[in-house]
A and B are shown apart, each in its own frame.
Chain A
Amino acid sequence: MKKNTNVQREPLTDTQLLMTITICIFIGMYLLAMLFLGGGFLHAQQIFDMLNDNASLIIVTFGLTIVMIGGGIDISVGAVTSLVVMSCVLYLNNGGNLFVSVLLALGIGLAFGVVQGFLISYLEIQPFIVTLAGMFFARGMTTILSVNPQKVDHEGFARLRDSKIEIPWLGYVAKNGNLVPARIELGVIVALLCLVFIFILLKYLRLGRDFYAMGGNQMSALMLGINVKRTRFLSYLISGLLSGISGYVFMMHTGAGNATNAAGMEMNAIASSIIGGTLLTGGVGNVIGSFFGTMTLTTIKKIVVSSGLNDPWWQSITTGGMLCFFILLQSVVLGQRAKKKSA
């Protein structure tokens, strides 16, 4: 029997199980959309558009996934993204340097991460309250900076904004006979780099595994010798940093700042994270799941629009229904599993 144990494949962990479910549902949903709705869904550009439009959402979802794996929550991410956008726009318009604007974005994100992380980890204030305060604060700051929308007017940035990767063979022939190549914005590349880094962090680095331990059972993590306070602090710090990156990616996509930028993004990020198999109770989830969570959510919205339900509330209603469905599914799947174990 001992010999077998080395060969035998382990059953999926909770994280892998939930992630697999999400990926399957995403693929199934997309295939159905191709089959019944056709149109845009038949072109590769549809997927690239979804990525281009949601790169910053994907990035904040990663941050939120880390925080949620550690058993916390961060609802300031959308507001911080918005603040970063507005700050960088104003800085660039006042003759700023492109490179420094990147540092500014990272700095603002980090600053929020550090302050919120400190309050939550070392002063032990409820994360919901702290990040709620952070959200209001960042929104307020954004409005102070400018009430009116601001368009970026900076040569270097314009070049950065317009640089796209074009893949001709994935393109399609438009009605006028011209070949339209598939376009990927730089923000998507940034998001994919984040995906790779965080995947490695969570899977192969001690810090990442400590996030899981902390979310799985905080008391145990402490007893096992993990510095829980520092670990928690770092989770919020990373989330803040990713909000900064997300802000810059957002600006690269829209090329303008607006006080209402990224409104409700934190809620979409939480929803994506949950759909991707991250448990609000902590300890379970990963970034690949979260990535597909975001894609699933986006696809659903696209499907709703393509089905002719153009009014914005239909998207909200389907998002709500979707979230409910996934949470139910997760609890049923994990419940079945627990039952099987005890039997």
Chain B
Amino acid sequence: MQDNCLLQMRGIEKNFPGVRALGGVDFTLRKGEIHALMGENGAGKSTLIKILTGVYQMDGGEISLEGNKVSIRSPQDAQMKGISTVYQEITLCPNLTVAENMYIGREDSAWVKHKEYEKRAGAILDSLGIPARSSQQLGDCSLAVQQMVAIARAVDMKCKVLILDEPTSSLDDKEVNMLFDLMKDLKSQGVGIIFVTHFLEQVYEVSDRITVLRNGELVGEYLTEELPQVELVAKMIGKELDELSALSESEDKDHEAGEVFYEAKNLSSSDALPFDFSIRKGEVNGFTGLLGSGRSESVRAIFGADKVSGGTIKIKGDPVKITKPIDAMKNGIGYLAEDRKRDGIIAELSVRENIILALQVMNGFFKPIRRSEAEAFADEYIKVLNIKTASRETPVGSLSGGNQQKVILARWLLTHPDYLILDEPTRGIDVGTKLEIQKLVLKLAEEGVSVTFISSEVEEMLRTCSRLIVMRDRHIVGELKGKDLNQAQVMKTIAGGES
């Protein structure tokens, strides 16, 4: 085993201000294997990859390549040492030709030898069976082919370690198969491939080994054939050490009695496949599934945040049209986005301005909310939600993650929604605030607000939701309620019912 060991990472540590991204992770890659690196959001996969490719410098630990200790200083350095990465977003230049893309940045002469590059590139493309012409403009190729060109470049650089970071997320089935054939071909040539993806089926289709990370820690390394899908999911999601169980099972989560508030049939959007969904008044339900399973895309479709492409929607039995967020808001739907930095807060504006934002939009810009009124609203919610801020005029950007999240919650609560969608409201915030947000959700439900709650932490969803919709590979694969609402059942459904 020692002799075919290609890459060894031992005790890798990485800290960001206030966060421990990796705490002593080990990773081993052997020659001619496809090794899947798995983990949920924040597990540390991308940090580990970025250390390996020289984007980040590690704070502790060591890396050895074919038995020699190495330090990787920059992406260029990594490439020189034989570690190449193909990212989800293609990092080639679409305005250059395929051949130019394969040789740019690593030529030995000051002249661009078009003819020679095209000949050499053509030979490599042929040998790998990539359907592209070397003199073609790269931007004219499909995304899958562009990705393969990136791989061909790596191969031509005599790469020993090839990292594929979410390579399949924008490819269709046929293209995925083309990519897999190429991967298997490279594997037989002795290249070690690190495959990062969140599609479980694909992991089982091509990988030999799986390493699972969770919360910046190594969970373990397994042979793919010896690890059933259910166990893989369990290892990825893990069990919370539960300080939160105070929020007990005894709470009455069942609000079946309410009338149906929202109902969608065959709703689909640019990013979500058609699905049916309904929620009752005062009900808390959840969408679960691994990252990339379509859970966020589905709720974004409900809110009209992505381009809605079809389906019928009824609110309280009346047909309505929701294609833009403003439509949803006018119908009493609020949405707290998954990425609060990008879709939620406006960091430079004050707490007060952030809180009244949604209400102002609802009122229309010709009816400004009076300053005194806005201040009163802000003060009220700062108190109700216990937002820790120096004053209502403090820029939101200077608040902690949990308090930023509360500001956005306040923004939606102020519009008195009938239906509130919370996408990962507890991500990256401290345990105390998590608990407060969960309590708030239950309180809202008691007051008759319907809530859709999404979280990567299954435990958290089990505590708050009375119904869980399970998604896998962009399809709804199950709906759990009552006695089925337990961790084992959820994981089984996520993993696909095998074993």
Q: Which residues of B contact A123 (CB under 8 A)?
A: none
Interface magnitude class on chain A: 20 to 34
Q: Does B79 reach chain A (CB closer than 8 Å)?
A: yes
A341 to B143, alpha carbons, bound, how many Å? 11
A219 to B137, alpha carbons, bound, how many Å? 19
A226 to B104, alpha carbons, bound, how many Å? 8
Q: Nearest Cβ in chain A — how far from B201, in angstroms? A: 26
* Beta-carbon nearest neighbor of A214 in chain B: B93
> Which one of A207, A216, A224 has the greatest number of beta carbons of chain B within 10 Å?
A224
A207 to B110, alpha carbons, bound, how many Å? 7
Given A5-B122, A10-B136, are A215 and B95 neighbors across the interface (CB < 8 Å)?
Answer: yes
Interface magnitude class on chain B: 20 to 34
* Beta-carbon nearest neighbor of A2 in chain B: B126
Check A283 against B95 for contact (C-beta < 8 Å). Answer: yes
Partner of B110, one of A5, A8, A205, A222: A205
Q: Nearest Cβ in chain A — how far from B350, in angstroms? A: 27
Check B109 against A212 for contact (C-beta < 8 Å). Answer: no
Q: Nearest Cβ in chain A — how far from B154, in angstroms? A: 11
Q: Which residues of A contact B97 (CB under 8 A)?
A: 13
Q: Nearest Cβ in chain B — how far from A65, in angstroms? A: 15
* Beta-carbon nearest neighbor of A209 in chain B: B112
A203 to B97, alpha carbons, bound, how many Å? 12
Check B105 against A212 for contact (C-beta < 8 Å). Answer: no
Check A224 against B101 for contact (C-beta < 8 Å). Answer: yes
The residues in B between 68 and 101 inclusive whose CB is less than 8 angstroms from any CB of A are 75-76, 79, 87, 90-97, 100-101
Check B111 against A14 for contact (C-beta < 8 Å). Answer: no
The residues in A between 209 and 256 inclusive whose CB is less than 8 angstroms from any CB of B are 209-210, 212-213, 215-217, 219-226
Check A225 against B79 for contact (C-beta < 8 Å). Answer: yes
Q: Does B184 reach chain A (CB closer than 8 Å)?
A: no
Check A14 against B137 for contact (C-beta < 8 Å). Answer: yes
Q: Does B106 reach chain A (CB closer than 8 Å)?
A: yes
A130 to B302, alpha carbons, bound, how many Å? 46
A contact residues vs B (CB 8 Å cutoff): 2, 5, 8, 10-11, 13-15, 203-210, 212-213, 215-217, 219-226, 283-284, 341
Q: Nearest Cβ in chain B — how far from A148, in angstroms? A: 47
Check B106 against A212 for contact (C-beta < 8 Å). Answer: no
Given A209-B112, A216-B96, A217-B93, are A5 and B101 neighbors across the interface (CB < 8 Å)?
Answer: no
A278 to B294, alpha carbons, bound, how many Å? 40
9 residue pairs bridging A and B, Cβ less than 8 Å apart: A5-B122, A10-B137, A13-B137, A206-B107, A206-B109, A209-B96, A224-B91, A225-B104, A283-B94
Q: Which residues of A contact B107 (CB under 8 A)?
A: 206
Check B112 against A204 for contact (C-beta < 8 Å). Answer: yes
Q: Does B46 reach chain A (CB closer than 8 Å)?
A: no
Q: Which residues of A contact B137 (CB under 8 A)?
A: 10-11, 13-14
Given A5-B122, A221-B93, are A209 and B104 neighbors across the interface (CB < 8 Å)?
Answer: yes
